[in-house]
Structure 1
């Protein structure tokens, strides 16, 4: 209920001047009601109470009249036309799910087995459930004990995070302890580089009292929203944390109720941050008022309620030119193609959404999300602006046209040098091109022709053959696994030790 009320705190009308139409509607209602008021006079020589009881006209005008329904229906239509809104329209070129930094406590206390199979294992299970619920969301993983380390940057692939989760044990952490303040700093660095608002999720058995002032200071200074999932069966462990303003605390449950609560908090934090972003348009929700007005209008078919002007409307409808007919189903009666496409997009049915959208930006994004990168690039090529160039460049990179993608990103940066998303994507695109060139040179110099990926006769200025970035990562991982016989736990232990030494 608190999240619902928080969302309603942004309620306003996009076109408030439309509400002035309520005044003539009320005036017409009052005049009509007054005209229909009974004109009755008491017969001479009769007591007032008897005259009133014997009169049928005395009861006229007290029930619900057609004019009342018409006025209420008009008021609802006027309110809908005024554009009620309390949420922003998310940028279609940005992921619809908030980026999330998962901070996992990997201390000695997390190895306790009072919660089967252990606190740490249970925390990993909960994290996997959260990742499964974040389809398409970008998530980073931070591990902390006496020191904090970025284990995996923001990624949409949960398998990458799951592979690192398996190797996270207390003995891989170079410094023992439980310093959540360091994890906050590490997570804030990640989220500060993002253009869309994100959130932090701490998964721990407790937050040390020494870290509470740091958390309070961070949240009071407009830091990213923070959620804590406590892996403990002690209900009192959350009491002190719940006193921190802005901190959402969820305690572990044997079912997935805690995971659902965490997901709601993340979504609420994203919506709140989006509502505060003046760069995004407000979402018009006037249709919510039109639906009850439509249902109320059904009363006009009731016997004795039919308006005299109903015949006039019917006659006008017969003489109006007929528009093109549609037989796409009942949904076309109530929602526009873009609204239907938006519903399909939010349900992650991107292929269907691409066929429904008439708005080119949303259609291009739906094509991109459904993997139709070439068609998406053609759509974005018709649009103007840096955002369209960024989207086109991303589609070109996805289909393997790395140099074209880098060139398109460069155009976006030239058009809008202050666009952080364009600058970041240009760096990534250029890094892919450099990787392709370097891999081509190494492949050309390698005697093992069986593993050549690129055309050896290709000049450096030519386009590389289309390959997927995931294939490059897979080949690198396979080569590393062939040359290094170790476990993820050992790898993380060496890596984190080197990071700790470098910071000393």
Structure 2
């Protein structure tokens, strides 16, 4: 440090915040003018008898007054110079470590149901995505689904279980518009990787490259620091698209042209999980990126803190009468010595001086800005309730899991019900009743859940009986080519496939949504009025995404563009 002072390079000497010089000059001028026009009031002296004044009032020396004024002005000048940030030497800024982000774009067009890849293209894609996430790429991952429109199924998260829980329910029928539209997909991904310094990774899982423009891919890669992995899930011969007469096959020339581009890798499908394990390792190994500061942006060391020593010498006299104001001046100007010039410092708000973060979060909660309030709360109960009322049930679940109180368990049970996890909700409410047998709300909700499960089980049983009768009737026609027995113009394979689809469809437990929380549901208490019961539940998380996607299209949040292919 001493060497820095002794070897000042005056050629490099400058101020880091010279643009504030006019403010400091104005403050000093106001201070000087105030001292010049200051006149001591002597009106009180007339209340003392004239013959006693020489004995009562002892006249001091004027130089002390001038010294005090001069020292205050000097302190202002020193503080201003410190605030301007005198510097004459550069320091090597440490590299900022940023992490890469990962986007999985899954094609949900009808052609993904073709069976040239066993069991079909979509199911194989799900298997591969599951194996990929279980291999642990470690990057924050975003799941996009697209067909005629592009939607965010799961935003960036490192909790892969959230993605895996939603993966099984993804089907083409949940998309508002059919087709394979890439313009919306690349526009969406462009917003996700805007100004990213760490190289992002994208896994494009698709079977249809017909509408994918090579120019569009090239422009996207030039504008964004990303690496694109393409996972083609289709064969060269192709297969028939269900419910259509069209055949879908892999466009080999387009695939070869893409493979020749920089930052584009084509993944080859394997029977085991070695392909996705290699991808997960590549993402994990290239996860952290060190952002080296450019030469033009090298930091200059703020040497204003050296002025603390002359300020400290002057403040040795702060015990004198009238000098306490100097403490305020010191507190104001020493703030300029802080080296915290990062963006984090700019996040400070004026109301932070008066309100705590928790109180500000409560204000947002009272204003029904629940998601913003949730980010400000530290208490798991408050955070969970805010997320719940904001509609982010997955985050609410994570928050309530951290609260081990009875109220926390109760709220967790409600959240599980909202997510459609009836078995988990039932287990939680049973645990609540074990700890608090007098909890009437938990008892009522438990009965409602059990009733709903029984009703759905009976509906499933009735559906299975009908299917069995239908299957028995179909068996009367022993020869599928003989149309006289039951008019069945189908093969055995088609009949078995139809039966499998019906069974799969009836195995889904469906219900209605639960009502929103009542207005008098207070944060942190986790209680509901006694007359409010959890009357309706939703047991299929895919229904939530289906309604969400349709709502986004209806409100114009997501654009839909027609494609030549309707599948």
- TM-score, normalised to structure 2's length? 0.39
Please say which structure displays the higher CA radius of gyration.
Answer: 2
